[in-house]
Amino acid sequence: MRQRFGLGYDSHVFVDSRRFVLAGVEIDHPKGLKGHSDGDAVAHALIDALLGAAAMGDIGGLFPDSDARWKDADSMRLLQDVRRRVVAAGYAIVNVDVTVVLEHPKLAPYLGAMRESLGRALGLPVSAVSVKAKTNEKMDSVGRGKGIQVFAVASLGGA
């Protein structure tokens, strides 16, 4: 089996009057993430990691923010669509690893639910899904609580 890897990244700023959703899980926080879709930076980073591993472009090419169809879209549905495309191309998703960088809120209480949600969307057991949270030690705008960064790696086998 051939092994392929993809790296994904996404970042968003916090805004008022928006739900805060990561990996399809609503996070208790007074602000949400700005974005054309629902702003789910974990799903977005994973989409790019999967597409990168399969050499199938990026999230902007499939779901451009200039297209009204994706306004307020559920990013977990977009992730499921990408999964279908990757599998249809002959790949199997082996595992995914996500690192979320933000100062607040603390994500520890949500990590299990996030792993389960991603596993369901990707057709993976929870043991093949890793989600970690880190702070930026008060450095830069993320460290000052202005936004979030997400890094994701996807491993594919086959094709």
Q: How far is the C-alpha of 52 from the C-alpha of 36, rounded, in Å?
A: 21
**Which residues does the chain have with pLDDT short of 50?**
none
Query: What is the per-residue pLDDT for 92?
Result: 97
Q: Extract the tokens encoding 96.
A: 């995914």
Q: How far is the C-alpha of 77 from the C-alpha of 123, rounded, in Å?
A: 13
Q: What digits encode the pLDDT tens for the residues 50-80? A: 999 999 999 999 998 887 787 878 999 999 9
* Residues β-bridged to residue 38: none
Q: Extract the tokens encoding 94.
A: 């082996």
Its pTM stands at: 0.95
Domains of the chain and any CATH numbers? 3-158 (3.30.1330.50)
